[in-house]
Amino acid sequence: MVAALKAGKHVYSAVPMAIEVDDCRKIIEAVLDTGLTYMMGETCIYYPCAMYCKKENDKGTFGNFVFAESQYFHDISHFPKDQLNLPALYGAPFFYPTHSTAMVLHATGAYVKKVSAVGVVDKEDTGFYKVGQNPWDNVFSNEISLMQLSNGGVARVSECRRIGYKAPSSYISGFYGTKASYQYSNAQHLLTKLTENGVDLFDVSDEVSPYEMTQNKHLDDFKEQVANHRWSWDNFAPVQDEFVAKLPESLLKSDGNGHMGSHKLLVNDFCTAVKNGTLPTV
């Protein structure tokens, strides 16, 4: 990426941009030196749950931020089968931290001041989470962290690769403030607002769930299909409408969307930053 920037190219990369602080710093310095654009294509900032929490947090709905919980749950058995024998796949889960951390940090606008993490040593017979079996001698298949944020709140963030679970995979399960809170499980999104005698409860699922998911919520096996990642790949949710409206018609009609409809939003974000000479979202 540094070489590309120094060669006069704008750069859009997959995640993570690097796993060493010095390597991240070199990319930032190259951007400052060249005046070119670098963007990391973190899909989860445009996930509906993250966009909803950011929208309501920016409006002041939650009051002062207290706590949030986000995670990236991706069991190793659900990775592409042709990759399962690649030792490089079995690094420490927090070497690939952006799907879990990006949602809360983007929604709050905060950064991490202090972090403590613990790992779960892999106990399964299959795989490469063993000393001598991957380039890092990594034995952890799951890692969970507690983060102190710059806004005074706390986040619990998890990266898990051995977990009996499928979908939603990257999501904010809870976002809590002094005036209101958001909770998400399966296909249900709930907002509660504090009152003198308790709370007012609002089901905001139809705003946050993808259109196609909502259209199928009458099905008897709806929750099971959601748990198996149905309707969560290439269609948009109402909470994304404002950003979808900014897409050029050619991009809107093209194939190749994915990750909760985020791909096209990210491409537009990058191209807009390059055209206008502004900082991209990530």
What is the per-residue pLDDT for 174? 99
* Cα gap 138→148, rounded to integer Å: 26
* Cα gap 69→104, rounded to integer Å: 8
pLDDT in tens, 229-268: 999 988 899 999 999 999 999 888 777 788 988 999 999 9
What's phi and psi for 119, nearest 5 deg? -115, 155
**H/E element holding 107?**
helix 98-108
Is residue 245 exposed (0-12), middle (13-18) or buried (19+ Cβ within 10 Å)? exposed
> Is residue 260 left, alpha or beta, with left meaning phi > 0 and alpha meaning psi from -120 to 50?
left
What is the per-residue pLDDT for 255? 76
Q: What are the DSSP calls for 135-173, one per residue?
A: TT---EEEEEEEEEETTS-EEEEEEESS-S--SS-EEEE
Contacts of 113 (CB under 8 A, 6+ apart): 148, 149, 150
What is the per-residue pLDDT for 250? 87
Count CB-CB contacts under 10 A for residue 262: 25
Count CB-CB contacts under 10 A for residue 232: 25
- In contact, 166 and 128? CB cutoff 8 Å: no
What beta strand segments (E) does the chain contain? 11-13, 38-40, 65-73, 112-121, 140-149, 154-160, 170-177, 180-185, 188-194, 199-203
Interstrand relation of 112-121 and 11-13 (parallel, antiparallel or unpaired): unpaired
pLDDT in tens, 97-132: 999 999 999 999 999 999 999 999 999 987 799 999
Q: Which CATH superfamily is domain 44-227 in?
A: Dihydrodipicolinate Reductase; domain 2 (3.30.360.10)
- Cα within 13 Å of Cα(269), Cβ side: 22
What is the per-residue pLDDT for 53? 99
- In contact, 145 and 181? CB cutoff 8 Å: no
Model-wide pTM > 0.85: yes
Low pLDDT (below 50) residues in the chain: none
What is the per-residue pLDDT for 120? 98
Count CB-CB contacts under 10 A for residue 137: 10
What is the per-residue pLDDT for 125? 85
Strand partners, 160: 73, 142
Locate the domains of the chain by residue range.
1-40, 44-227
What is the per-residue pLDDT for 217? 98
Q: At 86, is the secondary structure helix, strand, or coil? A: coil
* Cα gap 93→89, rounded to integer Å: 9
Interstrand relation of 38-40 and 11-13 (parallel, antiparallel or unpaired): parallel
* Cα gap 153→87, rounded to integer Å: 37
* Cα gap 81→197, rounded to integer Å: 53
